[in-house]
């Protein structure tokens, strides 16, 4: 049963709602209205708000980011020219604790996308009952176009530029698209006092206070909920098939985990192409091929196909694990999976989701499915503050327990209230954040 949060005094509600609503409308227009990640994030929030009967004042507070920072970073190129690169950090909500969220390095990164990702991080942290708010960052550059020295200098400049609003008790960055342990090490080192507190970032190398299991956490979480979704649908994993779109940090590990559980992974793709084997791909051989060539394209033991075609393979489980917005109104009618498990953030657009649900295709939302990374980031932060590190088995057991418990709560709420999994997950998360804002009072 959902809880409707009681409204505060009318005067207080009106004072908060009018300006915040205007800001929300402006951000909504800037994000392309109902289009793009920001439009999708806001549409999901609106659906959860209606289910909760959310008080207008709380709705206004949670509709917009708490704080945004955009910085311009000079990048000196080998030919002597200087290019200015935009960097962003958005803190959507700090009501439940310090901001938490990754930093992506992508030429496609823009402020609207970061706003959407920060909002999703707020809900994700709340869904897994972590003592964090939601934040996200980006540097608008293609790291593949930089040499290592240029890249490191850019990351360090970004870390120094956002240092006034980040820190172990304020906002803790982590890896995302285009970043990993090396980038987090540079950010930690560039933090004030040389990042003496090991909790200033997560996703660090083990030598700098990183956590066992962090690199594989998102993949393990995706595979865990995919298997739970199969169980809910009454499908034996040993008789199930899966396709993975995005054979990178998340998709590769998720495919291997599903295969260990007996699922037949029949198709995978990355940015350069795809490969398919109806009887199941040899994932060990495929991984070796990717390590040698940098792509799944050209894999000798599979049939070549376009990367986009992996999204329309006839499988039980489809895992879009690359980037946002790959399943849209243009290809939704060709999707033939029974279950979609979102490994990436926002891979299914709002318009596509409505069409998929109408056809009976279940979607396990990113909010739940790819939360393993932030859960183990929380474990890393806790270990750093304690100065006591856990072994890999302990991390995996704690992560699996969190994933299963969150799945149980979301699936139970969806069944009880007759809503889809995304609305149930978002409503549970929004309810928790709203309760924290209310508990803090008018200044929360």
Cβ neighbours of 50 (radius 10 Å): 12
| Residue for token pair 């992560």 | 399
Residues 56 and 58: their CA atoms lie apart, in Å, by 5
Coil, strand, or helix at residue 163? Answer: helix
Q: Determine contact, residues 172/201, Cβ cutoff 8 Å.
A: yes
Residues 408 and 348: their CA atoms lie apart, in Å, by 23
Nearest by Cα to 118 from 51, 165, 49: 165
Residues 170 and 201: their CA atoms lie apart, in Å, by 11
Task: Give the single-character DSSP code of 277.
Answer: -
| Residue for token pair 């803190």 | 91
Reply yes or no on whether 204 is catalytic: no
Residues 187 and 181: their CA atoms lie apart, in Å, by 10
Which candidate in 100, 136, 204, 249 is catalytic?
Answer: 136
Angle at 33 between CA 158 and CA 63, to 5 degrees: 65
Buried-exposed string 226-252: b where 16+ CB fall within 10 A, e elsewhere: bbbbbebeebebeebbbbbbbbbbbbb
Paired tokens of 401: 């327990």
Nearest by Cα to 145 from 89, 81, 247, 77: 77
Q: Determine contact, residues 357/416, Cβ cutoff 8 Å.
A: no
Tell me which residues are annotated as active site: 136
């Amino acid at each position: 049963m959902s809880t409707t949060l009681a409204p505060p005094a009318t005067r207080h509600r009106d004072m908060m709602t009018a300006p915040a609503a205007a800001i929300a409308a402006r951000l909504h227009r800037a994000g392309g209205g109902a289009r793009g990640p920001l439009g999708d994030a806001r549409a999901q929030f609106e659906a959860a708000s209606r289910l909760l009967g959310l008080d207008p004042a709380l709705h206004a507070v949670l509709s917009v980011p708490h704080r945004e920072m955009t910085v311009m970073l000079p990048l000196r190129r080998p030919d002597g020219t200087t290019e200015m690169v935009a960097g962003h950090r958005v803190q959507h909500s700090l009501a439940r604790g310090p901001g938490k969220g990754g930093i992506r390095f992508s030429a496609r990164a823009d402020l609207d996308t970061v706003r959407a990702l920060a909002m999703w991080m707020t809900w994700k942290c709340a869904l897994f009952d972590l003592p964090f708010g939601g934040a996200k960052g980006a540097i608008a550059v293609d790291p593949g176009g930089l040499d290592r020295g240029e890249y490191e200098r850019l990351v360090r400049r970004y870390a120094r530029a956002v240092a006034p609003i980040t820190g172990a008790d304020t906002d803790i960055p982590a890896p995302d698209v285009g970043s990993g342990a090396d980038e987090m090490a540079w950010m930690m080192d560039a933090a004030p006092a040389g990042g003496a507190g090991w909790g200033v970032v997560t996703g660090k190398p083990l030598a700098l206070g990183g956590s066992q299991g962090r690199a594989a956490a998102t993949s393990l979480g995706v595979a865990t909920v995919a298997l739970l979704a199969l169980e809910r649908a009454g499908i034996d994993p040993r008789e199930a098939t899966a396709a993975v779109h995005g054979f990178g940090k998340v998709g590769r590990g998720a495919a291997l985990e599903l295969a260990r559980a007996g699922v037949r992974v029949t198709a995978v793709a990355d940015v350069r192409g795809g490969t398919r084997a109806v009887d199941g791909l040899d994932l060990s051989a495929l991984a070796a091929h990717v390590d040698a060539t940098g792509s799944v394209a050209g894999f000798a033991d599979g049939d070549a196909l376009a990367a986009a075609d992996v999204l329309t393979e006839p499988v039980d489980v489809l895992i879009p694990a690359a980037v946002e917005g790959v399943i849209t109104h243009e290809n939704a009618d060709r999707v033939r999976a029974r279950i979609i498990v979102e490994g990436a953030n926002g891979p299914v657009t709002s318009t596509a989701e409505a069409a998929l649900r109408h056809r009976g295709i279940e979607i396990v939302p990113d909010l739940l499915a790819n939360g393993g990374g932030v859960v183990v980031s929380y474990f890393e932060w806790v270990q750093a503050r304690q100065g006591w590190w856990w072994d890999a088995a302990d991390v995996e057991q704690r992560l699996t327990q969190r994933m299963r418990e969150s799945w149980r709560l979301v699936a139970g709420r969806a069944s009880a209230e007759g809503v889809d999994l995304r609305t149930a997950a978002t409503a549970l998360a929004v309810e928790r954040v709203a309760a924290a804002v209310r508990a803090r009072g008018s200044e929360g």
